[in-house]
Chain A
């Protein structure tokens, strides 16, 4: 089997792609946004609850998509749950750097992080949008 494919589809990606965690809708939630990938029709809906200490208390998503987009959304919810918003925003910018091939100066993510499994997306520029769909939904929900 080919190395590029193995790097893109690590075990953890296939696992989260097939059985995404935090799949559903947060009840209650005070933030939500839809994510779309107009190139392929993949879409998701992200909902989360921010408490009065600015902590993401719960976060969930629903939608349909490829393994990369589902795994990324699933891993994102695992990573962001319990985080303060300012930290979450740092994770957002680290992650977008990571998957677009610039992993040098990450602030909060390191190689131990499960999100690092998505680094292989950098080798497939057309798939970066799959990996970042949930993250952009998160960012736009924060603004809403």
Chain B
């Protein structure tokens, strides 16, 4: 069992008072997680004591910085159980990671008429990069349906797979429904020999990740949702696959040799890391991973799963609340609406009660259209949330309903 009281003490922001002196209840970790003091302090310390550019100089500080940066890579590698550090590319965000694979993969493998499969519940970050590829290469983007439970419609997904399918790119844990992708979907791709990318933005902070057991070829996530700073993301790709891919961006740090006639590119992972990387942020991600590992990812996951079910039980009893997607298979994220009250009203009302939730389309407009919804409210949990906070949230929902539908 986690000592939540102690954990809460590690997050300075949880002492903040909101608007009229209410305790902050932060239920928006799916948008971004708060940062433990150790991450904040270590970033500060890096800049104060060790900072210089990486892999570029031979002086002491450059060596120290490079060591810290590469050490973070090892931590990420272990965190997702990748085979090699060469498979871990630091980017600025999951969004950049998806743009990286979309561009590099497409320039090598995508031709007119080829097909890429997504689902209708993807985040815009996992849709728009593919639209740009479609426009450039005249390929097709197919969208697998979801069923009423908020899971991928497996039959429909299967029917989309053909010899034209070049890549599948889907969310591992939905940022709207909190549902986790069925292993059978991944197996289907493996069996058909189609590379699959999992968008792990939400899963990386809520469930233990093992890219080998999962069987995914590519995996991406953002540091900031995993208690790490903004500005750093991860792109994982199987070594034999990404070795074949051309670089994404050009710049310093990714070349073997340059002359005025051209250039040869360096080896993995630097080949995909053009320019000065987010080295302090990557270091911060390593610190966050240490922090998470010390508590235990499985314990964090269990705690959040329990909280999710605790909240679902209470919300189910509120006849004025619609919960989107079935309650089973939900992890850490619950989207809902109060009948006849727009999610903006809910969010502003809760804000004044000190409760931070998200309202809107959650960067999933195709899904909102599919559900015939304009927007939803969403609560999401982090390791620091408690049942008491859920109770206060539930109470606030009742007050909100009374205020707007009196």
Contacts and interface: CB of A to CB of B under 8 A. Distances in A.
A19 B368 CA distance: 24
Interface stretch (A26-34, A64-72, A87-95): A64-72
B361 interface: yes
- Give the interface SS of chain B, mostly helix, strand, loop or mixed: helix
Interface string B352-370: 1100000111000100100
Nearest to A130: B344
A106 interface: no
B119 interface: no
B349 A41 contact: no
A79 to B, nearest CB: 22
Contacts of A3: 20
Contacts of B399: 1
B28 to A, nearest CB: 13
Contacts of A65: 342, 374
A23 interface: no
A66 B368 contact: no
Contacts of A42: 344, 374-375
Interface in B4-20: 19-20
B376 to A, nearest CB: 10
Interface string A1-31: 1111100110000100000000000000000
Interface string B325-356: 00000000000000000111100110111000
B345 A67 contact: yes
Contacts of A124: 348, 351
Contacts of A41: 360-361, 365, 368, 374-375
A122 to B, nearest CB: 13
Given A1-B403, A14-B404, A8 B348 contact: yes
B349 A5 contact: yes
B128 to A, nearest CB: 13
Interface residues on A, range: 20 to 34
B352 A66 contact: no
Contacts of B19: 4
A67 B338 CA distance: 14
A40 B375 contact: yes
A8 B403 CA distance: 12
A127 interface: yes
A47 B348 CA distance: 30
B404 to A, nearest CB: 7
Contact of B403 (A9, A39, A66, A68): A9
Contact of B20 (A4, A39, A67): A4
A14 B404 CA distance: 8
Given A14-B404, A40-B375, A41-B360, A66 B365 contact: no
Interface in B357-403: 359-361, 365, 368, 374-375, 399, 403
Query: Which 10 pairs between the two chains have the least Cβ-Cβ distance?
Result: A66-B344, A66-B342, A40-B360, A41-B361, A2-B352, A64-B374, A5-B352, A4-B352, A40-B375, A41-B375
20 contacts: A1-B399, A1-B403, A2-B20, A4-B19, A5-B348, A5-B349, A5-B403, A9-B345, A40-B344, A40-B361, A40-B375, A41-B365, A41-B374, A42-B344, A66-B343, A66-B344, A68-B345, A124-B351, A127-B344, A130-B344
Given A4-B20, A41-B368, A68-B344, 5 more contacts: A4-B352, A41-B360, A66-B342, A66-B343, A66-B345
Interface of A: 1-5, 8-9, 14, 39-42, 64-68, 124, 127, 130
